[in-house]
Amino acid sequence: MPPWPAPYTSAIALTLDNLGLAQEARLRNLPPDSAEVLNDPAITTALPRILTLLARHGVRATYFAESWSLPVYPAAVASLVGAGHEVAWHGYQHEVWSGLGEVEERDNFRRSWEVVEGQDVVKGYDGFRPPGGTVNERTWGLMKEFGVGYVSPEGREFGVGKEGVVVLPFEWRAVDAFWYMKKFAGIRKTRGEQEEVAGPEEFGEWVMGRIKEVAAEGGFMTVLFHPFLTESQEKLALIEEVVRRIAEDAKIWVAPCKEIAEWVKAHSEDFGSVE
């Protein structure tokens, strides 16, 4: 059992993905100042509701946001940072990371860092979650070059990875989209789940059971929600159920990914390495 900060015996990161319509704007060539982009319900309705329930339970989250979205949704970004949440990196405009070529990948880093250099709220990126869940071999060197301290890919192994970058993984089953979206049917099938979409009841049963396991094992877990998928009261209620569960357990350290990564890096001899 790795040594987490006393009195905690395990750690869980509550994370959010996809800020607004970054991906949709890229795929459909939508201008950033269009009414559809600016009035996205995920920004105007879902995010404020999620921030309210996080504040109610005293939980600080990590939002993996596309760089394109930072100047498009400045009020949303300011509300995240002002509430003590971490804003981390999710690519420039949600490009599937494993499909990028060498030049495209470096350009994605460059364009994303130019965005944060041009605004005042998010000063830089401590962490990166690759869209699609997989990094390329060359990504490790680029993360070190650009000062990324941790990465959150799909998997279960966590610890210190290549180039000294801490690995804080997520599992597909701990992602709301895995259960709610049709396009994840193939991934569901490979993991022994039904191909048809499921609802918050099925997701909730699995995630609450996994939280119990992690708490007993003394390990680490990431839970991942997408505001754009929180269109029903039932799905919002599940987020609150998860938040309440991890917030009320005195043995679970609930913190932004940056803080967990810094702890792991400082105690690397106790956490091991990830190849």
User: What tens digit of pLDDT does each residue of 31-42 get?
Assistant: 999 999 999 999
Average pLDDT, the chain: 97
Asked if pLDDT for residue 1 goes beyond 90, the answer is no
Whether the Cβ atoms of residue 132 and residue 97 lie closer than 8 Å to each other: yes
Whether the Cβ atoms of residue 90 and residue 17 lie closer than 8 Å to each other: yes
The confidence score (pLDDT) of residue 275 equals 80
User: What tens digit of pLDDT does each residue of 242-260 get?
Assistant: 999 999 999 999 999 999 9
pLDDT classification of 76: cutoffs 50, 70, 90: very high
Asked if pLDDT for residue 218 goes beyond 70, the answer is yes
Asked if pLDDT for residue 47 goes beyond 70, the answer is yes
User: What tens digit of pLDDT does each residue of 100-116 get?
Assistant: 999 999 999 999 999 99
Q: What pTM was estimated for this model as a whole? A: 0.97
The dotted CATH code for 10-271 is: 3.20.20.370
User: What tens digit of pLDDT does each residue of 134-157 get?
Assistant: 999 999 999 999 999 999 999 999
Q: Which of 123, 174, 42, 252 is nearest to 51 (CA)?
A: 42
